[in-house]
Every structure is written in C-alpha cells, then in structure tokens.
A and B are shown apart, each in its own frame.
Chain A
C-alpha cells in the first residue's frame, strides 16, 4: 500500500507531485486529480487533500465535499484484496444479493469496510459491464463470472489461505 507518507526534506510526496504536474492549477481539474490519486493510492489520504487544496487554491472543505459526493472516491485504504460485487440490475436479477450476502458473511465485514488485518475489503458496485457473465464479482479487477454461493466460497477460501 502507498499509505505511508514518503516525506522527504521538502515535505512533498513525489508520487503526488507527479500527478499534479500533469494538470494546470485550474479548479476544474479537481475531479481528474482526485481520480488519479484514488487510482494511485487506493484512497485519498488527508495529506493529499491538503496538498491539492494548496495547489488549486481552494478550501479543503470544498475538496472534502467533492470526495464524499462521488462514490469512486474513498477516504479509507482498501484491503489487499478488494472484492467488488456487482449490483447492477442484470446481476441483481440473477441473484447478486446472495453473492454479496455470502461475501459479507464470510469475511465478517460490511460493504465499505476493510478487515482488521487489512487483507479484504468489500464494495457493492454498479454495473461493471460484464452482463453476459452475470452475476459477477471482481477481486482486484479480476472478474469472476456466473457466480454462485459455492463459487464465492471456493474463490475466497483460496485467497484466505494466501498471505
């Protein structure tokens, strides 16, 4: 995970500076920058929010407002294995609720949470576009299609044994 601060003498996070370098200081770039930070860090660290606030010359509260508005942005780090269960309509009709229930039950956490050891996190996502394979869940972007409760058990058991 990239959640440790890589503070050097200048107090700047190189990874973040690289992202910022790509954009002008125009406020309309906020969502683009946040998207890249979310992608790079797996969440949007407070330090990054502060730096973005300085860079775009806008209050942190406003940035926080934008982060909490869009579901793609998260304030907490995701687990090593991030499980996303598709709750798009096509998957829902084919029983994705049961899939999600089983994942929650098996890991003992709710949607939006991460297990204490930081290994797993769950997200209920809207359509990922693999409707032909419904119901679908993904683990770190690897798609598992035509899911059943049994398949969830098999796949999760495999990951639970891994480090």
Chain B
C-alpha cells in the first residue's frame, strides 16, 4: 500500500531518473537500451535480444547501462527495433547477433553502428527516431507512453503523470464536472461508431441502479488491426486509470476488461498492471481515503468477432454464446446482469487521462469540426511502413499512405485503402485527399471503424477482396437474425460464382439488392455493415466486376479459376529462373529452349510471374 504522498514522491524521483527517455539533452551518464516487446517484434525474437544485451552488460561489467522492454514503437516493418536513449539512436531490423556490436561500438566506443541505422524511404540514413518521415506527421496522445515506458513497471507509468488524472478527479472534481470535461473535449467512441463519449457516460450516470459496471471493450476483432492490443501491451495502466475515472463519473465500483484470448502478451501485461495497482492501493477499497472503491477483472474472449458488438460482449462476459441483444434497452440502462453499464473501447479510454490533465479545450483544439483529437491506425498491407500510426483527425489518406506510410512497395501503384475492416469500405485513389474523420469516411461509403487501414496495390482484385470480407462475416455471423445469417451466405455464394467465372451481369443487381436488405433488416452492427465491402467495391470498381461476369476475366489475375499463367515464347530467354523457383515443378524447359508451363501441375501461385527478369510470364 502506498499513500498519495508516497506516490507523488515516486513520481518525482522516478521522473528525474527517466528524464533521458524523453529529453535529448538529459544530464545523465546513464544509457537506456529500449527494446520493443510488442507482438510484432516479439515474433521476430526481441526477447532473445533483451537476454543477449543483459548477458553482455553483465559480462562486460558496464555500469550505467540498462535494458528496458517497452511497448510498440510503431514502425513494425523495421522490427525488431532497438532505441538507445538519451541520444535517441534508432537501430532497425536488429538480430541477437548484432547486440555485441551495438554494445562495443555504440556504448563502449561511443560511435554509431552505421549498418544498423534505419534507412528512410528516400534512402537517407536516419540517426534519430524523430527524423523519420514516419513520425513527422504523427501526434501521439493515446500512444503517448508506448515505446517510452516499461509497461510492466507501475513506477515508470507514475513517473510520466500516471494516476495524476485520477488524483485530480477524486480530490478536486465532481462526477458531473468529469462528464462535462469529457463532453466538451468532443471525444467520440474509437471503437468505430463514433458515439459521443460524454453522452454515454451521462446516460450511465443518470440511469437508476444499485450496482453499475464499467466495461472496456478490448475484443479487437478486425483482422489486421492492432491498435488496442498495442495500447494494452505498451501502456496498460492508462486504461486502468481511465476506467477508474469513468467508474467515479458514472457511479460504478466494478470494472471488467474483455480481451481476446489471442492476445497473450496484452493479457499478461494487463494482469501485471492490475496486480501492481492493487499492491499500491490504487485499486481496491476506499482509494486514497476518498471513499471511492474500484475493482477490476479481466475476462477473456474466445475468438468471436461479433463479441466486439457491445451487447454480444456483455453476453460473453456473462458466460454465454455471444449473441447480441435487441436495443433498446441500451447497456447504459440495462447492461451486465441487467445493471447500468458503461462500455468504451480501449483507445477511447486511452484518451481520457490526457483530457482530464490537459483540459477539454486543449483536446478539442485538435482535429476537425465534428471529430476531435487523434486516431490510431494500424497501417498494413501493400505499404512500405507497416505499423501503428496516430494522427490528428482530418489528416488526409494521402498523408497517411504516402508521407507516413512511405507509399507502395516494389514500384507498384495505389489502388485502394480499406478502412473499418469487414464493416468498412474501400476508398479509391480519387478520394485520397479526403480528410479523415467519422463523417467524411461515411460519406464516401466507408467508415472509421476501429482503425484498421489496409492499403492495396494495383495487382489486387477487388472482387476477391470483397469475397474475402464476406467469407469473414459469414464465418462470424452469430446466427441470431436471418438477414445476416442467410443473407451474407447468399451474397458469398454469388461472389464465389463471379470469381469462378460463372457469374452473370444480373448477379451484380442481386448483390446490391441483397446488400441493402441485409443492411436494413439485421439486428446488430455486424449484419448492418457486413455488405459494405461489397457495396463500396461495386461503387468504385464496378468495371472489375463487369470484367469477371462479362469477359470471364480477372484483370489482376488474382482469381485462380480465371487465371491462365502463360510464358510468352518471344520474350522467354530460357534462363531457367522460373523453373528453379517453381515450388511444384510445373515448368518444363531446358537451357536455350523456350520454357512452358504444365497447366495440370501448376498451382497458379504466381511465383514465376514475379521472378521472371524479362517479364515474359503473365497471368
């Protein structure tokens, strides 16, 4: 147990000690080697890197050097990432074998390890993190601590204003004032729908009930999105603190966080954070003698996309099949076990502490007229800088894809960006300059969604993509209502027909008609938005659908049934590269004899098309 005074003392001393993490000119002889332990870098062996550094520091008896595990730095494409502070040197694609050189050259001799420095897209060598184009247009609010603190050490969180917002709320504010601040900040739900957060809190506050609950939705189901996971992995305490503030504001003393079981690192770190907060007396009874109690528990999901829908999530917390409830009544009135319940998404909570500390005015000065603050996106797909980015609302798609994302790899062109995952839509090049906010994305047939942003190059087939998303929703439809259960299945069948070359033009009208009915008649958000990927691709890439149904051709060659891989005998130089790379031995040919493909063996993987130096093979 720690008193408030003790916590304030930790903040002071620890903040001085950690000044080198955020201050380039920190007056210290200490060096901190920060190693990313987010899921991405962990998958490429960052734990081994930490181990190796620790061993070397011990062996070489280096004083004043510490190795720290942190959350995601954002630039996953360059992972594993190692950053040395205070000088902020950024080493990319580090392997455990590189550690000794970093120790010897950088930390002992004081010189840079040139070969490990990160190269920007324009090939300039970057010495410091903030010099990278990737970071220049970003503004980190929700991700403020990610990559700076050790998420498994509560003291480090406290050092950077941690639990200060809670102190302010419990000691100086009334619940009404807290809600007023959140409302005035303009914060809207980051889960995707964009409902004003302050209003949600107010509804729950005025709802009548002897017991109320606060829930955090961390069931990030959009495949290809990892914003919430990164926040939980990199800064779990900020979610705990915000949930407590929400609890105080709405009158709840019990919280649940619902996390996907597929996020073991996030779950592990969040549990550590809860335990530490309990040890410090931050979670528990009569916190800091204010009379406020709060307890928090983790509930694991088990792989059901629909559980991201708030009422389905409540069903799942209660231990049942995650089938949505009919609304109204809304969770604010009748939620968990029938009691008033506040549900917000991880990223929404991650903004709360900053709003309390810096004020509503500060927050609402960022963003667009109706969408305030920043949004975190998981940038993925055919883009150079795959990673996690946080930008002010109103940033254009072009800035995100080209300035931050570094454009499309392999000299290919931009075809579309997909936001909102299986509920969203594809945005074509003509809308690249749309400033991103809730309204503008809806206007062009997509949606903000939770923050997945997948970029596609010009070799991708949009019909196949629509089929992919429909396949996903068919798998994930809970089966409660007919339009979603049966309607999406019928849509998928039509799309399968089209991609197999068995479609007709009338199928396109059938698709549209079905899509609109499903949108109107489904019970929950999953069904109401499931047809969006089809509708938006039909709107912007109709000519591709037409090519599939009329000419029985897939313009990008992705649809296997329509693909016909052939070698142009005029261009073939019989070099044998395709033959060597073919995984199934489908290419027949000898030196100096033009090669050909045996269609019975060919699996149409396209490896030969990519490998042929003479562009003699086409789909």
Contact = CB atoms under 8 A, between A and B. Distances in A.
A132 B319 contact: no
Contacts of B465: 92-93
B39 A129 contact: yes
Contacts of B455: 93
B607 A133 contact: no
Interface in A30-67: 30-32, 34-35, 38, 65-66
Given A101-B603, A127-B223, A143-B43, A28 B418 contact: no
A88 interface: yes
Contact of A132 (B40, B468, B475, B478): B40
A136 to B, nearest CB: 8
Contact of B460 (A93, A102, A127): A93
Contacts of A69: 304, 321-322, 478
Contact of A72 (B302, B319, B607): B302
A66 B319 contact: yes
- Which of A32, A105, A125, A126 has the largest number of chain B CB atoms within 10 A? A126
A92 B460 CA distance: 10
A136 B39 CA distance: 13
A130 B43 contact: yes
Contacts of A34: 302
A6 interface: no
A127 B603 contact: no
B302 A134 contact: no
Contacts of B39: 128-130
A66 B39 CA distance: 28
Interface residues of B, number: 57
B605 A98 contact: yes
Interface string B276-315: 0000000000000000000000011111110000000000
B508 to A, nearest CB: 23
A70 B386 contact: no
A88 B319 CA distance: 26
A41 to B, nearest CB: 15
Contact of B263 (A32, A101, A129): A129
Contacts of B44: 130, 133, 143, 145
B485 interface: no
B484 interface: no
Contacts of B460: 93
A153 B468 contact: no
Interface stretch (B140-148, B224-232, B514-522, B537-545): B224-232
A88 B223 contact: yes
B302 A28 contact: no
A87 interface: yes
Interface string A112-152: 00000000000001111111111010000001010011101
B324 to A, nearest CB: 13
A73 B77 CA distance: 32
Given A132-B40, A143-B44, A148-B607, A29 B381 contact: no
B223 A93 contact: no
B77 to A, nearest CB: 5
A102 B302 contact: no
A129 B606 contact: no
Contacts of A94: 381-382
A71 interface: yes
B317 interface: yes
B478 A102 contact: no
Contacts of B40: 129-133
B583 A150 contact: yes
B274 to A, nearest CB: 15
- Which of B40, B223, B418, B454 has the largest number of chain A CB atoms within 10 A? B223
A72 B321 contact: no
Contacts of B469: 89
A105 B456 contact: no
Contacts of A71: 302-304, 475
B304 A87 contact: no
A28 B318 contact: yes
B452 interface: yes
B316 interface: yes
A88 B304 contact: no
B262 interface: yes
Interface string B191-233: 0000000000000000000000000000001111110010000
A93 B302 contact: no
Given A27-B319, A126-B223, A133-B40, A89 B454 contact: yes
Nearest to A141: B264
B442 interface: no
Interface in B565-587: 581, 583
A16 interface: no
Contacts of B381: 89-90, 93-94, 134
B386 A89 contact: no
Interface string B79-90: 100000000000
- Which of B224, B299, B322 has the largest number of chain A CB atoms within 10 A? B224
Contacts of A126: 221, 223, 262, 303, 305, 472
A127 B452 CA distance: 11
Nearest to A124: B475
A152 B583 CA distance: 10
15 contacts: A32-B300, A70-B302, A70-B304, A89-B418, A90-B386, A92-B465, A98-B603, A102-B605, A105-B603, A125-B262, A126-B305, A129-B40, A132-B76, A133-B43, A150-B607
Interface of B: 39-40, 43-44, 76-79, 221-226, 229, 261-263, 299-305, 316-322, 378, 380-382, 386-387, 418, 421, 452, 454-456, 460, 465, 468-469, 472, 475, 478, 581, 583, 603, 605-607
Given A31-B316, A35-B300, A89-B469, 15 more contacts: A31-B299, A38-B302, A71-B303, A89-B381, A90-B454, A92-B465, A93-B455, A127-B225, A128-B39, A132-B40, A132-B76, A136-B43, A143-B43, A143-B44, A152-B583
Top 4 A-B pairs, shortest CB-CB distance: A132-B76, A90-B380, A89-B224, A88-B223
Interface of A: 26-32, 34-35, 38, 65-66, 69-73, 87-94, 98, 101-102, 105, 125-134, 136, 143, 145, 148-150, 152-153
